[in-house]
Amino acid sequence: MYRYDEFDERFVRERVAQFADQVARRLDGSLSEDEFKPLRLKNGVYLQLHAYMLRIAVPYGTLNARQLRQLALIGERYDRGYGHFTTRTNLQFNWPKLRDIPAILGLLADVEMHCIQTSGNCIRNVTADHFAGVARDEIEDPRPTAELIRQWSSGHPEFSYLPRKFKIAVTGAQEDRAVTRAHDIGLRLRRHPDTQETCYEVSVGGGLGRTPMIGKVVRDYLPKKDLLAYLEAILRVYNLEGRRDNKYKARVKILVHEIGAEEFARRVEAEFARLDGPSINADPEEVARIAAYFAPPAYETLPAVSNTLEAARAANPAFARWVEVNTTAHKVPGYTAVTISLKPAGQAPGDATSAQMRTVADLAERYSLDELRVTHAQNLVLPHVRLRDLPAIWRTLGEAGLAEANIGLVTDIISCPGLDYCALATARSIPIAQAIQQRFADAQRQREIGPLGIKISGCINACGHHHVGHIGILGLEKRGIESYQITLGGDAGENAAIGEILGPGLAAEEVPAAIERIVAVYLAERLEAESFIDAVRRLGLAPFKAAFQEVPRAAA
Amino acid sequence: MAAAAKRVPLPAILLANDLLDGDVVFAAAAGPGGLAWTRDPARALVASDDAAAERLEAFAAAELRGNTVVDAYLVDIALEGGRPVPRHFRERFKTLGPSNRPDLGKQAGEGIAPAPKG
């Protein structure tokens, strides 16, 4: 894992001191709210419905035990004993007091964490594949790239006031687990077919929100050494030409859409050619220094099969089921990556109590080489687990209410906080997620349905990624009540697609039955071993639309 | 100055977030002719006519200038059992707390007297 050097440390400490001073000036009235708001947003402080909210960056979703324990402590000391993991792999506290935020930022700096650039019109926290470094389908670990971008983009003077926010995701794997095509810039590490050299495929102009777009590839094989200069060229074109007159048309996706991907790429290449590459690109020594932090940890040499694990599986079907659903094949024999579901029935998706955070921190320290990950699907990962340790981990997770075996299934729902917390929301998300979880609680049924991603957003800004949900749910307000629009056929992976609207909005209580009907069409029509999304692609929308129209409506 | 934005239908209450804590606060009658913030929505002063609404608006403007609260605005309500209840579901949540966590927020009595800690 990356460790701060003296520059990182100083940068973060200086920012804490600066923001503490800004808070003091706000409290003594020297700064008005209009003056203070952009400053607090630069430091992750929002004002939500019931309270302030603090968004803490978890760069590329990587944490160690000490950091997670510190988050648990902050949750207990300054919040209400829980936090919410987000689709940008960040952690949000829902109840901090403004007067306490400088102290909280100090505690974060103690464990090399901060809230810088988790909001505002700047380059946001860079996300990556949550199985980085361990996935079998990976060409190269994306985290050194993500860390390099974090360093380059932190406090970047030219890109601190972009037309709008800017999100970057990196993957090094075949399967896209980082939703790269729904990002302003998506980077995919791949080998050049001729030279076998590792390069980046660069896509630009993806994004969700009110105008969802899938990113367009503007460079097929960017040499790794040119990364920062190329990013600088993209950001410069966007910064100069992106719209500032209309917030809803200010994201780079609109610029790419309006002038076309080819023209956008041409302008980027022209800018790239003008830039003094060597003065912008990272020094190879620095790149190597960063990469060294992500070198594989000291794995043991283990047999590929663990007799302890196999015996436990044979003896306990519930455990066997959890292993089947919540673990992922690891690069190294004898190891596995465990995904801990933060979606137990009845809980808000992505919420974890301080006690649960401590349990997970202890497990990471004891069983996962002191490392864990946050996923964009709002779950946690223990990336380096010996197969033989799975029974002990499962027992401990069970005691903490964290042993739900539902990763990738119908109850593993992505949900934004919605109108239960968020000032921008137009409808609630969490109770919808809970109602669907309840409806599909039966484990056998979930298994029968197989992989199915439901994603819920409480407003058009789409923090809950509903556009790329196999089934997407968007909460809106319609004539003074909450109304939910259902989309079908979205995909967050390498075959990224935006879902299509099935029909008129539904009342909250009608949503579970509608999902039920959609699932019933799939179960009736699917071919042998055909997944939900594959069936939707093959069948098209028509049979689902027909079933959707038969959903009984409370009101006309 | 531009004409004042169209006011919400009356009756209405004034709510805001406390600058220091972020808690939702409501303008309530305090002393003779005075107004002060309370965390208890049941105590919110209900403005039923233009004069009362203007008084709440003037209080909001002064308190925003005085940096005691942020995001102050009038909310139209209905009286239910003598208590003001916002007509819009969004504002109703502000008087209650997260619907998925009845143990938190005003619905759990947080910050509302006579809770032991205010």
C-beta neighbour count of A221 within 10 angstroms: 16
Q: Would you say residue A441 lies in a domain?
A: yes
Helix crossing, A101-110 with A6-27: angle to 10°? 170
Provide, rounded to the nearest whole percent, the portion of chain A with pLDDT above 70: 99
Residue A443, classed as helix, strand or coil, is helix
Instruction: Note whether A188 and A47 are same-domain residues.
Output: no
Question: Which CATH number fits the domain that encloses residue A444?
Answer: 3.30.413.10
Q: Would you say residue A301 lies in a domain?
A: no
Average pLDDT over residues A416-439: 97
Please report residues of B whose CB lies closer than 8 A to that of A96.
Answer: 22
Q: How many Å apart are CA A394 and CA A392, to the nearest integer?
A: 5
Q: Would you say residue A127 lies in a domain?
A: no
Q: Is A299 exposed, middle or buried (0-12, 13-18, 19+ CB in 10 A)?
A: middle
E strand or H helix that includes residue A542 = helix A542-549
Smallest CA–CA distance, residue B54 to chain A, in Å, is: 23
Q: How many Å apart are CA A390 and CA A382, to the nearest integer?
A: 11
Residues in A 6-35 with any Cβ partner in B closer than 8 A: 26-27, 29, 32-33
For residue A429, the chain B residue with the least C-alpha distance is B100
Instruction: Note whether A39 and A105 are same-domain residues.
Output: yes
pLDDT per residue over A104-151, tens digit each? 999 999 999 999 999 999 999 999 999 999 999 999 999 999 999 999
Tokens of A347: 């809980």
Which residues 6+ apart lie within 8 Å of A95 measured at CB?
A50, A51, A52, A79, A80, B22, B104
Q: Would you say residue A120 lies in a domain?
A: no
- Nearest neighbour of B105 by CB, restricted to A32, A50, A52: A50
Helix crossing, A307-315 with A317-326: angle to 10°? 120
pLDDT above 50 (res A504): yes
**Structural domain boundaries, residue A96:** 6-110
Instruction: Note whether A333 and A463 are same-domain residues.
Output: no
A50: contact with B, CB 8 A cutoff: yes
The count of domains in chain A is: 4
User: How many CA atoms does the CB half-sphere of A355 hold within 13 Å?
Assistant: 6
For residue A32, the chain B residue with the least C-alpha distance is B67
Which of these three, A110, A144, A169, is where a domain ends? A110
Select from A418, A387, A205, A405 the least CA-distant residue to A299. A387
pLDDT above 80 (res B3): no
Q: How many Å apart are CA B61 and CA A364, to the nearest integer?
A: 51
pLDDT above 50 (res B10): yes
- Give chain A's mean pLDDT: 96
Contact: A97, B98; criterion CB under 8 Å: no
Average pLDDT over residues A353-379: 98
pLDDT per residue over A30-73, tens digit each? 999 999 999 999 999 999 999 999 999 999 999 999 999 999 99
Select from A451, A475, A471 the least CA-distant residue to A518. A471
Select from A81, A550, A67, A98 the least CA-distant residue to A353. A81
Instruction: Note whether A381 and A418 are same-domain residues.
Output: no
Average pLDDT over residues A257-266: 97
Q: What is the pLDDT of residue A121?
A: 93
Average pLDDT over residues A194-201: 96
Provide, rounded to the nearest whole percent, the portion of chain B with pLDDT above 70: 91
Strands (E) located in A309-447: 327-329, 335-340, 351-353, 372-374, 380-386, 414-415
Tokens of A342: 């933060």
pLDDT per residue over B26-55, tens digit each? 999 998 889 999 999 999 999 999 999 999
Which of these three, A330, A364, A399, is where a domain ends? A399
Q: Would you say residue A247 lies in a domain?
A: yes
Q: How many Å apart are CA A436 and CA A510, to the nearest integer?
A: 10
Q: Which amino acid is at A26?
A: R
Smallest CA–CA distance, residue B27 to chain A, in Å, is: 16
pLDDT above 50 (res B1): no
Strands (E) located in A48-97: 52-56, 62-63, 82-85, 91-93
Instruction: Note whether A274 and A138 are same-domain residues.
Output: yes
Q: Would you say residue A503 lies in a domain?
A: yes
Q: Is A134 exposed, middle or buried (0-12, 13-18, 19+ CB in 10 A)?
A: buried
Q: How many Å apart are CA A60 and CA A150, to the nearest integer?
A: 9
Select from A132, A440, A433, A154 the least CA-distant residue to A295. A132
C-beta neighbour count of A301 within 10 angstroms: 7
Contact: A50, B98; criterion CB under 8 Å: yes
Contact: B21, A481; criterion CB under 8 Å: no
Which of these three, A63, A95, A110, is where a domain ends? A110
Q: DSSP of B30-91, one letter per residue?
A: ETTTEEEEES-GGGPPPB-SHHHHHHHHHHHHHHHHTTSEEEEEEEEEEEETTEEEESSHHH
pLDDT per residue over B49-82, tens digit each? 999 999 999 999 999 999 999 999 999 999 999 9
Residue A98, classed as helix, strand or coil, is helix
Question: Which CATH number fits the domain that encloses residue A38?
Answer: 3.90.480.20
Instruction: Note whether A92 and A241 are same-domain residues.
Output: no
Q: How many Å apart are CA A251 and CA A336, to the nearest integer?
A: 39
Instruction: Note whether A62 and A184 are same-domain residues.
Output: no
B31: contact with A, CB 8 A cutoff: no
Q: What is the pLDDT of residue A530?
A: 97
Tokens of B91: 């504002």
Q: Is B46 exposed, middle or buried (0-12, 13-18, 19+ CB in 10 A)?
A: middle
Q: Where are the alpha helices (DSSP H) in A43-122?
A: 65-78, 101-110
Q: What is the pLDDT of residue A516?
A: 96
Q: What is the pLDDT of residue B118?
A: 40
Instruction: Note whether A151 and A50 are same-domain residues.
Output: no
E strand or H helix that includes residue A533 = helix A532-539
- Nearest neighbour of B20 by CB, restricted to A97, A419, A477: A97
Provide, rounded to the nearest whole percent, the portion of chain A with pLDDT above 90: 97
- Nearest neighbour of B98 by CB, restricted to A52, A420, A477: A420
Q: Would you say residue A125 lies in a domain?
A: no
Q: Would you say residue A556 lies in a domain?
A: no
Greatest alpha-carbon pair distance for chain A in Å reads 68
B101: contact with A, CB 8 A cutoff: yes
Instruction: Note whether A234 and A353 are same-domain residues.
Output: no
Best mutation target, A40, A50, A100, to test chain B (most B CBs within 10 A): A50
Please report residues of A whose CB lies closer than 8 A to that of B17.
Answer: 47, 51
For residue B110, the chain A residue with the least C-alpha distance is A50
Contact: B22, A52; criterion CB under 8 Å: yes
Strands (E) located in A183-265: 185-191, 198-204, 216-223
B22: contact with A, CB 8 A cutoff: yes
Instruction: Note whether A265 and A188 are same-domain residues.
Output: yes
**Ramachandran quadrant class, A462 (left: phi over 0; alpha: psi -120 to 50; beta: rest):** left
A555 pLDDT band, cuts 50/70/90, is low
pLDDT per residue over A269-315, tens digit each? 999 999 999 999 999 999 999 999 999 999 999 999 999 999 999 99
For residue A29, the chain B residue with the least C-alpha distance is B67
A383-417 in b/e form (b: 16+ CB < 10 A) is bbbbbbbbbebbebbeebebbbbbbbbbbbbbbbb
Q: Where are the alpha helices (DSSP H) in A122-251?
A: 143-153, 227-241
B97: contact with A, CB 8 A cutoff: yes
pLDDT above 50 (res A556): no
B89: contact with A, CB 8 A cutoff: yes
pLDDT per residue over A84-99, tens digit each? 999 999 999 999 999 9
Residue A480, classed as helix, strand or coil, is coil
Contact: A419, B89; criterion CB under 8 Å: yes
- Give chain B's mean pLDDT: 91
Instruction: Note whether A392 and A423 are same-domain residues.
Output: no
Instruction: Note whether A84 and A218 are same-domain residues.
Output: no
Q: What is the pLDDT of residue B114?
A: 62
